Amino acid sequence: MSEAIGAHWYVVQTQANGEERAAQNLLRQGYEIYLPRYLKRRRHSRKVDCTAKPLFPRYLFVAIDVATQRWRSIQSTFGVSCLVSNGQRPAKLHESVIRALQAREDEKGFIRLDSKPTFAHGDKVRVLAGAFMDDSGLFNGLADHNRVSILLEMLGRKVRVFLDADMVAAA
């Protein structure tokens, strides 16, 4: 955890898309921070790439010893909206939450997310992106590498469509 003896983890709400800025400014002030990130697959112009995204958009974690550190300065740090609090005191986060997140990190420090869909055959699903965006269908099974098969109602009959697994969600 933290080098400080009495330090505990707390949650910082950042400004929109300001996680990196807040993290750098908090580090510069001497705070220990934890910003869990994952690799998000992105499709654009027939290309697929992965970009690092925060696991919790607009939030990061900071280790503070409220008895010895000047934690109120976090509130006025560039990139920070507020320190999540209960009344006048920051809300303490249990150490096991941070440990559980860190246990899911890969060798590059990114959180591993479950990539396989958890749908059962026949479950209703909704398409999130692409040509069939917002259409509803039935989960038909797993296809090849990271793709799923769904049945969509088109022109009065069911048509099987293969999509990336991250383009489908439960309806």
Interval 72-108: pLDDT, tens: 999 999 999 999 999 888 999 999 999 999 999 999 9
Residue 13 has pLDDT above 80, yes or no: yes
How far from 65 is each of 45, 79, 81, 87, 110, CA to CA, in Å? Answer: 48, 21, 20, 18, 27
Instruction: Confirm whether 111 is domain-assigned.
Output: no
Q: Is 32 helix (H, G, I), strand (E, B) or coil?
A: strand
Interatomic CA distance for residues 171 and 168, integer angstroms: 9
Contact by Cβ (8 Å): 62, 14 = no
Interatomic CA distance for residues 52 and 38, integer angstroms: 6
Domain count, the chain: 2
Task: State which residues form the domain around 31.
Answer: 8-103
DSSP string, 54-121: ESSTTEEEEEE-TTTS-GGGGGGSTTEEEE-EETTEEPEE-HHHHHHHHHTB-TTSBBPPP-S--PPT
Interatomic CA distance for residues 27 and 19, integer angstroms: 12
Share of the chain above pLDDT 90, in %: 58
| Residue 116: pLDDT band with limits 50, 70, 90 | low
Instruction: Tell me, yes or no, whether 23 and 59 share the same domain.
Output: yes
Instruction: Tell me, yes or no, whether 96 and 128 share the same domain.
Output: no
Instruction: Confirm whether 119 is domain-assigned.
Output: no
- pTM metric for this prediction: 0.69
Instruction: Tell me, yes or no, whether 29 and 93 share the same domain.
Output: yes
Instruction: Tell me, yes or no, whether 134 and 51 share the same domain.
Output: no
